[in-house]
Chain A
């Protein structure tokens, strides 16, 4: 079986039965950030902890990427095989809005305020034969 590895360390807990988005929270002002960062953008403190931000949220805004982006976009697609994808900000229970690819890619499927579920999905094949995994959100029934 192909080995699967995260596209970047520290973005989400995985593999796990219920993967969570990972971020940081400031020990002083309690503001959260994604991805986790050592400095707090709100108060400037350097004391932050890595925390789970949750795996469900609500859609705050959305759009659809209809054309294949130039580099630095790096997928396995070609201009011919490119599939439009949704992008949105999802409000997380951890207290931050996270930008993410969305599984839905038509306006009919997307609505501000709808509940969204975190998924860890294959993004592209790595040069060494492994499969790079990224996070995305998909619309779910309440």
Chain B
């Protein structure tokens, strides 16, 4: 059974000093309800989460104490994907037929500073300066470039596309396109990744109204359908963040298994996808994720990027709203922003960033610490 998406809402990403993270989540829910033509009282259940902006169920203080079932979800970067997965299960079980999924966040400026004890690690690992996500993505990208013949040109082109797409997206944080040279000459942060190749922690909110297909037929003429929602964690041997050691035999990343599971659930393959959102915490990981999600072979990215295949008018349009690079990463909201953008594209409401030829199949993918991945496949 499919689950329908009948309302989508976003509070713009970036910095909103006048609003708490929770208020940005509430704004996203209100926007999603308005989009669906419904009210908060119509919601039977909610799943939601944030990393740094409070318990999602406190949103009821803003939206109304209606007594609905509200479950807080916290699952790192896959918080949004896990909330959506839980909502799909609630509807498929038959217990409920309409509800809301919400994610929001508000992080301090600068890189994240996770604490070793929260990740099952001893203090020395953090004290000696090895517990940084930026380092991990650089280490993984460095090895990937070595193994698969990827050059700095590809890293630059990913960022160039991201900021171009961001400039076409009214809700994006970064709205200025950056030239190839500006990116190539930006400061080296963690070799091989430069300043304009990393996303930053940010703020924002995103929400979706989901329901059973029967309910969708009553309520809207333009439903979208979730064909698959899959979340997977790491295997022994996959190269992951916050790992003082790694096994010698490298296993598939959790992205590979989540992607395969999602394609199996949906009964389609990567060749059937028209538009995709792939986690781009940095330009290196977007390149890696293109292959890990099955959209190309390892090493093929260099040529695809040079040809512009991943642009809005290319044959593999990736991160049409500028992705994490142009929107920043409010962890709780980021995964649902991806779903929001896919819905915009499938509805044909992308305006200046609309993928041509009426895309019918969309794909979203998140990856995060300490090695988990969430994939959704959405169709008209």
Contacts and interface: CB of A to CB of B under 8 A. Distances in A.
Q: Do A and B bind each other?
A: yes
Interface of A: 7-8, 11, 23, 31-35, 41-42, 60-67, 69-75, 85, 87-89, 91, 95-101, 107, 112, 123, 134
Contact of A35 (B111, B122, B187): B122
Nearest to A74: B127
B128 A101 contact: yes
Contact of B142 (A63, A67, A96, A101): A63
A99 B245 contact: yes
Contacts of B140: 61
Interface stretch (B55-63, B82-90, B130-138, B292-300): B130-138
A117 to B, nearest CB: 18
A66 B245 contact: no
For B142, B193, B237, B243, the residue with the greatest tally of chain A CB atoms inside 10 Å of its CB is: B142
Interface string B105-149: 000001101011000001110111111100100111011001000
For B189, B190, B244, the residue with the greatest tally of chain A CB atoms inside 10 Å of its CB is: B244
Contacts of A62: 139, 142, 191
Interface string B184-204: 000111111100000000000
B129 A85 contact: yes
Interface in B245-294: 245-248
A90 to B, nearest CB: 10
B142 A34 contact: no
B236 interface: yes
A75 B126 CA distance: 11
A74 B129 CA distance: 8
Contacts of B113: 69-72
The 5 closest A-B pairs by CB, nearest first: A72-B126, A63-B138, A34-B245, A61-B143, A8-B124
A21 to B, nearest CB: 10
Contacts of B139: 61-63, 87-89
Contacts, number: 113
A23 B248 CA distance: 14
A101 B130 contact: yes
Contact of A67 (B122, B124, B128, B189): B189
Contacts of B129: 65, 69, 73, 75, 85, 87, 101
Interface residues of B, number: 37
Given A63-B191, A87-B135, A112-B146, 16 more contacts: A7-B124, A7-B127, A8-B123, A8-B124, A42-B237, A42-B247, A61-B140, A62-B142, A62-B191, A65-B135, A69-B111, A72-B113, A72-B116, A75-B127, A99-B246, A112-B142
A112 B143 contact: yes
B124 A65 contact: no
A33 B236 CA distance: 11
Nearest to A111: B146
18 contacts: A7-B124, A7-B127, A8-B124, A31-B247, A41-B236, A61-B143, A62-B191, A63-B192, A66-B190, A67-B189, A69-B113, A69-B129, A69-B132, A75-B128, A91-B248, A99-B245, A101-B129, A101-B130
A7 B128 contact: yes
B194 to A, nearest CB: 10
Contacts of A64: 188, 190-191
Given A63-B142, A112-B142, A23 B245 contact: yes
Contacts of A32: 245
A116 to B, nearest CB: 15
B132 A98 contact: no
B120 to A, nearest CB: 10
Contacts of B122: 8, 35
